[in-house]
Structure 1
Amino acid sequence: MASDPIKKIEANERKETASSSSNNDSKISNLVTPKPEVVKPAGPPPPSNGGLTAWLQVAGGFMIFFNTWGLINTFAVFQTYYESGALFTESSSNISWIGSIQCFLLQLTGIVAGPIYDRGYLRLLLLTGSFMVVFGYMMLSLCHEYWQALLAQAICVGIGSGLLFTPTVSLLPTWFSSHIGLAVGIASSGSSLGGVIYPIVLYRLIGPIGFPWAVRTVAFIALGTFIIPVIVMKQRIKPPKPRALIDWSAFTDAPYITFALAVLIVFIGNSVLIFYISYYPINKGFTNSSLGFYMVAMFNAASIFGRIAPNAVSDQIGVFNTFVPMALILSITVFCMLGVTNTAGMVVEAVVTGFFSGVIVALPPVCFAMLTKNKALIGTRIGQGFAIAGLGLLIGGPSAGAILGTTEPLNWTGLWVYGGVAIAAAGFILIAVRIMKAGPKLMVKG
């Protein structure tokens, strides 16, 4: 009987040993067996679509627009001052080449700035572009000849602005998804504020301290405000490897290339407004020279709302559904310039055309982003698109000056018809792009 308990104890010990051995084997098996790899999602993470960092990019973009398009929107003041012959004597067409080349280089430089941005060199572009803009206006303050102003204001400032503009409009869409239009609209309203402040600064200072120090003041303002984007702007998406300078597939993308053509043509018409909104009422005697200068400020103040409100609406109904009617209405307002006969009419025209003109700068970056499926190529695509469209800015000013003529009375009727027809033609091309993108149904977001 005594042997039975002993046998039971031995049997239990054997079971415990077997169980322990089995557990150890299981643990060893768990250690040896490789765990399945976690598959990382392809492509960059989705944009934050808000938050402090994202909206700081908008603040930095606001200052970039303030000192690029904002200074370009001020060119009507420079045009009027140069027309007076105080600095040099040239025809309206030759003077407008300064502004046209400046605008064109802002767009053309995107061919280089876009791929550099795509390679991750945002900080280098910001520093180089900021330096060139400030340096260009410092050199303009020393100019006394037409060719000197052409080098400083047109070429140096134009290239510097291009190094800043394309990276900015490429960066903002990468931080937002459903609020792209609003974000770009708020940032682009910086150009309107610049177009309000800089003309007033120039006009109020040219008399008391002279043209050189007035221009230097503009340069100092630009220098101070460039600090913000240099500090806060941050690139979110970087490609895994360097890409070609030109995306040749874009030239076989029908909606993309057609839209670039439409922006080229609408820029021709819009440049007529940018260059001559100040000189027109002074020459026709609708206003005195003081109020004529302030027409630029009124025009750009109204464009603040034209950059933000339509862009916010575009997030809800689609960018092309917004762009098409805005362009067609702008063409009508340009034709209405023919009916202006007094100060009140000119003020109304400045405000109305300013509002709709604001759309012309604010919406194209959003449209180019929407037409770019591969977001890693967004800098290259936007740079190429604006380089093509920039030809309109190069053509617009000088061709408008040639139509205007040099002998009194100037051909203002021909000028405004030219601008209105160009914008209307662009509007109809935009209808074709909208159909290619979203089909012929009116109620579809596109």
Structure 2
Amino acid sequence: MFASSLFSGPLVDRVGPNYIFTPAGLFLVLSQMLTSLCKKYYQFILCQGVLGGIATGFLYSPAAAVVGHYFHRKRPMAMGIITSGSALGGILYPIILNQMLNHSKVSFGWTQRTVGFIGLFMVIISIFTIKAGVPTRKGTYLLPSAFKNMAYTLQIVGLFFFFWGMFTAFFYIPSYAEAHGMSTSLSFYLVTFLNAGSIFGRLAAGAFGVFAGQFNVLIGCCAICTIMIWSWLSIHSNASIIVFSIFYGAFSGGAISTMIATLASCAPAPNQMGTYIGMASAFIGIAGLTGTPINGAFITHYHGFNEAIYFSAACASFGSVILVGARLAFAPITKLRA
């Protein structure tokens, strides 16, 4: 998903969103329909992972860029609202799939097709409502000169290391909870709790970013997430793990929503936002791709979570420090709302 943003981001700046959203949305629906027919592992990888991931990437960066065209001062709030949709889906889809697959007579195939039809309805809405707010740009496809902007480059480096550690909880908090006595039926909903917190965090961070400064909110969310990762090993009871999941979802969601706004703010013109977001997403996506397997290897090798959590906390700490440098490069410390 992140890798395809390298192509979709610049493309939306050059041709507008309409030529991207229609095919990408239909391919996303197609990936769900084809997944309903899969029988072997490699088929799931191709249909859901490759086709679905590419299609999602061609929707993600253009949507963020186009919304950024219409907002300047309230851009963090707008980004918080649009990114909260993915967190809402993260709540609803696991519950829908669990109920249909495990508590009804609906087959796997028709469960996937149901999800596909829901996606088709949403895609149709986006096709007819999303329009570019600025003229398209000409010139080179990518913008290598963007990396001369230290606020942009340092932000990419900082977010890379932060994301390297941040996603560990999203993938391993259920197994961590089960290792400390939580039932499987309850641990299943921990990701739902994470996403529930994420909705609030994305909306609140966006609204707060308008008044406190988007970079300041980003750094604050990253710092609190880092502290929570360091404290992860001290939580053992069901109640504390659930509370951790909700609050971690809130602050990680705040970081995700505000980073789109801060990346877009580094672009010198609105019709370059897609390229700036897309190039950054391609680099940050490498961290998202590799961080979870690295931590999984730690857990498997050491037969526990300590080393994985220490690695994640160290990465998030280093990334948060780098983001402070990006904030100082973006605006003087005397400018409080940055």
TM-score normalised by L of structure 2: 0.94
Residues 286 and 346 in structure 1, CA contact (< 8 A), matched pair in contact too: no
Tell me, what secondary structure is at the counterpart of 1:144?
coil
Cα displacement (A) at 1:311: 1.3
Q: CA deviation at 1:285?
A: 4.5
Alpha-carbon deviations, 1:61-120, whole Å to 9, x = none? xxxxxxxxxxxxxxxxxxxxxxxxxxxxxxxxxxxxxxxxxxxxx111122112221123
User: C-alpha distance in 2, partners of 1:137/1:267?
Assistant: 27
Paired with 2:242 and 2:17, the residues of 1 have a C-alpha distance of: 41
Does 1:177 find its partner at 2:72? yes
Distance 1:331 1:210 in 2: 41
Unpaired runs of at least 5, structure 1: 1-105
Q: Deviations over 1:44-63 (max 9, x none)?
A: xxxxxxxxxxxxxxxxxxxx
How many residues get paired? 336
Of residues 148, 153, 161 in structure 2, which corresponds to 1:252? 148
- 3-state DSSP class of the match of 2:2? helix
Indicate conservation of the 8 Å contact 1:120/1:238, yes or no.
no
User: In structure 2, which of residues 241, 259, 271 is the aligned counterpart of residue 376 of structure 1?
Assistant: 271
Find out whether 1:213 has 2:110 as its counterpart. yes
Inter-partner Cα distance in structure 1 for 2:42 and 2:48: 10
Per-residue deviation, 1:401: 1.4
Aligned-partner Cα distance in 2 for 1:188–1:238? 24
1:432 maps to amino acid: G
The equivalent of 2:28 in structure 1 is 133
Equivalent residue for 2:238?
Answer: 343
Counterpart of 1:236?
133
Structure 2 match to 1:278: 174
The residue type equivalent to 2:31 in the other structure is G
- The structure 2 residue matched to 1:433, chosen from 326, 331, 335, is 326
Q: Distance in 1 between matches of 2:122 and 2:97?
A: 17
Give the secondary-structure state (helix, strand or coil) at the position aligned to 2:276. helix
Q: Is the 8 A contact 1:266 1:360 kept in 2?
A: no
The aligned counterpart of 1:324 is: 219
Identify which of structures 1 and 2 has the higher relative contact order when contacts are C-alpha pairs closer than 8 Å and 6+ apart.
2
- Is structure 2 residue 55 aligned with structure 1 residue 163? no
Q: Is the 8 A contact 1:129 1:160 kept in 2?
A: yes
What code does the residue aligned with 2:226 have?
S
Measured at CA, do residues 122 and 298 of structure 1 come closer, stay the same or move farther in structure 2, by a change above 3 Å? Answer: same
Paired position in structure 2 for 1:265: 161
Match of 1:65 in 2: none
- 3-state SS in 2 of match to 1:278: helix
Q: CA deviation at 1:169?
A: 0.8
Residue 376 of structure 1: how far off its partner (Å) = 2.1
Please report how far the alpha carbon of residue 419 of structure 1 lies from its aligned counterpart in structure 2 after TM superposition.
1.9
Going from structure 1 to structure 2, the CA distance change for 1:279 and 1:225 (only over 3 Å counts) comes to: farther
- In structure 2, what is the equivalent of residue 80 of structure 1? none
1:135 and 1:361 map into 2 onto residues whose CA distance is 27
Deviation at 1:295, TM superposition (A): 0.9
Aligned 8 A contact 1:115 1:244 in 2: no
CA separation in 1, counterparts of 2:186 and 2:226? 24
Contact 1:128 1:163 in 2 (8 A): no
Assess if the C-alpha contact under 8 Å between 1:331 and 1:424 holds in 2. yes
The residue type equivalent to 2:53 in the other structure is G
Distance 1:434 1:292 in 2: 37
Q: Give every structure 1 segment of 4 or more consecutive aligned residues whose post-TM-superposition deviation is greater than 6 Å.
A: none
Deviations 1:354-407 (A, max 9, x none): 11110232011100111111222111111111111111111112112111117x
Q: Separation in 2 of the partners of 1:418 and 1:180?
A: 33
| Identical positions, percent | 28
Cα distance between partner residues in 2 of 1:288 and 1:138: 33
Contact 1:438 1:445 in 2 (8 A): no
**Is the 2:26–2:123 Cα contact (8 Å) retained in structure 1?**
no
Give the letter aligned to residue 124 of structure 1.
Y
Kindly report the root-mean-square deviation, in angstroms, between the aligned alpha carbons of the 2 structures.
1.7
2:41 paired residue number: 146
In structure 1, C-alpha distance between the alignment counterparts of 2:39 and 2:157, rounded to whole Å: 37
